[in-house]
Amino acid sequence: MSSAFIRSDTSRRADIRYCCGSTGAGKSSYIKADVAADKRLLVFDPDDEYGDIPGIVSFHDGPALLAALKEHKTKPFKARLVQGGQAAFELCNSLAFAWTNCSYIAEEIADVTRVGKAPQHWGQLLRRGRKRAIKIYMTTQRPSEADKTALTQASIVRTGLLGRHADREALARDMDIPIALMEKLRPLDFIEAHRDAQRRVFVGNAADGTREEITARLRDNAPEAEPKPAQKAPVTAKKPANNSVKAPRRNAAQKAGTLKA
Ligand SMILES: Nc1ncnc2c1ncn2[C@@H]1O[C@H](COP(=O)(O)OP(=O)(O)OP(=O)(O)O)[C@@H](O)[C@H]1O
Ligand SMILES: [Mg+2]
C-alpha cells in the first residue's frame, strides 16, 4: 500500500495498551468496549474473537485485506484478518502502519513474537505508530514469553488474573507494583498501570464496573517512602546558626563574580 494519507505528527501522544491475563480474564471484552466508537479498525484475529463487532468485515487472506484497505484509504472501515502465524501477524502490522489513523488490535502476541526481539514490522509499528495516529492494543496470556519491546513501549499496562507465577513476577516488576496485589486478583478483576508522569495505578472489576485509583496508597506503602537509617543526619552534624532558609548554592561563575566585586 502506498504511503499514508496523514502527515507524521510528533506531537501526538502514544496510546499503546498492553493487556494481559489468563484465558477468560476479560482482555478481548475490554478492548471491544474501548474501540466501540472507533471508525477505523484493523484486527489481527487468529482465534476469531472479533466477529461480533458491528460492521466489521472478515478476511481470511492477505491480498483481499490489502485491496479493501486501499479502497478505504481515508474512509471509515473495520476489518479483521482471521488467520494465525507470524506471516499473517507481520502483514497486519505493516498494513496498519501504512493505513494510518486507526485502532489496531493484535491478539496473543506471545504466539508470534519472542522475548528477545520484536519482528520488524511490529517493532516499527510500536516505535513509530504514534506519529501516524495509530492506537495499539495487544493481548497476551503469557507476558513472560512475549517480546519486551511491546511492554517497553506500552503507555498502559493492564492485567487480569494470571495463572503462572513467572508471569505475575515478570509483570509486577514491569508495572512497578507489589506482586501481592496480583496474587489477590479474582476473575474479571484488573490492575492498570499508566506510564505517564504521575505513574497512576487503578484497580477494579470489569463485571461490576468498579474502578479505583490506588497510586497514593501504593506509594505511601512503598519501602522508599520510609526513612532509611543511612539518610538520617549524623548526630555530630552542626546545626545552622539560625532557622533562616538556606541560600541557594552558587555556581563557579557567581562565586567568581562575588570575588571580583
Ligand atoms: N465486563 C464484563 N462484564 C461481564 N462479563 C464479562 C466482562 N468482560 C468479560 N466477561 C465475561 O468473561 C468472558 C471472557 O472474557 P474475554 O473473552 O474477554 O476473555 P479473554 O481474556 O479475552 O480470554 P482469551 O484469552 O481466552 O481470549 C466473556 O465471555 C464474558 O462472558
Ligand atoms: Mg480474548
Q: What percent of the chain has pLDDT over 70?
A: 80
CA distances from 257 to 85, 248, 249, 251 (A): 69, 16, 14, 10
Instruction: Report yes or no on 231 lying in a domain.
Output: no
Instruction: Report yes or no on 129 lying in a domain.
Output: yes
Instruction: Report yes or no on 242 lying in a domain.
Output: no
- For residue 125, the Cα-to-chain-centroid distance in whole angstroms is 13
User: Is residue 251's pLDDT more than 90?
Assistant: no
Q: Which range marks the domain in which residue 83 is found?
A: 16-225
Instruction: Report yes or no on 239 lying in a domain.
Output: no
Q: Write the pLDDT tens digit of every residue in 83-105.
A: 999 999 999 999 999 999 999 99
Q: What is the maximum alpha-carbon separation in the chain? A: 81
**HEC profile for the chain?**
CCCCCCCCCCCCCCCEEEEECCCCCCHHHHHHHHCCCCCEEEEECCCCCCCCCCCCEEECCHHHHHHHHHHCCCCCEEEEECCCCHHHHHHHHHHHHHHCCEEEEECCHHHCCCCCCCCHHHHHHHHHHHHHCEEEEEEECCHHHCCHHHHHHCCEEEECCCCCHHHHHHHHHHHCCCHHHHHCCCCCEEEEEECCCCCCEEEEECCCCEEEECHHHHHHHCHHHCCCHHHCCCCCCCCCCCCCCCCCCCCHHHHHHHHHC
Residues 6+ apart with CB under 8 A from 6: 100, 101, 132, 133
Taken as a whole, the chain contains a residue count of: 261
Instruction: Report yes or no on 1 lying in a domain.
Output: no
- In this structure, what C-alpha cell is assigned to residue 72? 478505504
Q: Write the pLDDT tens digit of every residue in 180-207.
A: 999 989 999 999 999 989 999 999 999 9
180 Cα: distance to centroid of ligand 2 (angstroms): 25
Q: CA 161, CA 182: separation in Å to the nearest integer? A: 7
* pLDDT value of residue 2: 52
Q: CA 126, CA 129: separation in Å to the nearest integer? A: 6
Pocket probe for ligand 1: among 22, 29, 50, 109, the residue whose CB has the most ligand atoms within 8 Å is 29
Q: Write the pLDDT tens digit of every residue in 199-238.
A: 999 999 999 999 999 999 998 876 544 444 444 444 444 4
Instruction: Report yes or no on 89 lying in a domain.
Output: yes
27 Cα: distance to centroid of ligand 2 (angstroms): 5
Instruction: Report yes or no on 96 lying in a domain.
Output: yes
Instruction: Report yes or no on 142 lying in a domain.
Output: yes
pTM, 2 dp: 0.84
Pocket lining: 25 vs ligand 1, CB cutoff 6 Å: yes
Closest ligand 1 atom to 207 CA: 3
The ligand placed nearest to the CA atom of residue 25 is: 1
Q: Write the pLDDT tens digit of every residue in 108-128.
A: 999 999 998 899 999 999 999
42: domain CATH number?
Answer: 3.40.50.300
132 Cα: distance to centroid of ligand 1 (angstroms): 30
Number of compact structural domains in the chain: 1
165 Cα: distance to centroid of ligand 1 (angstroms): 21
Strands 210-213, 16-20: pairing kind: unpaired
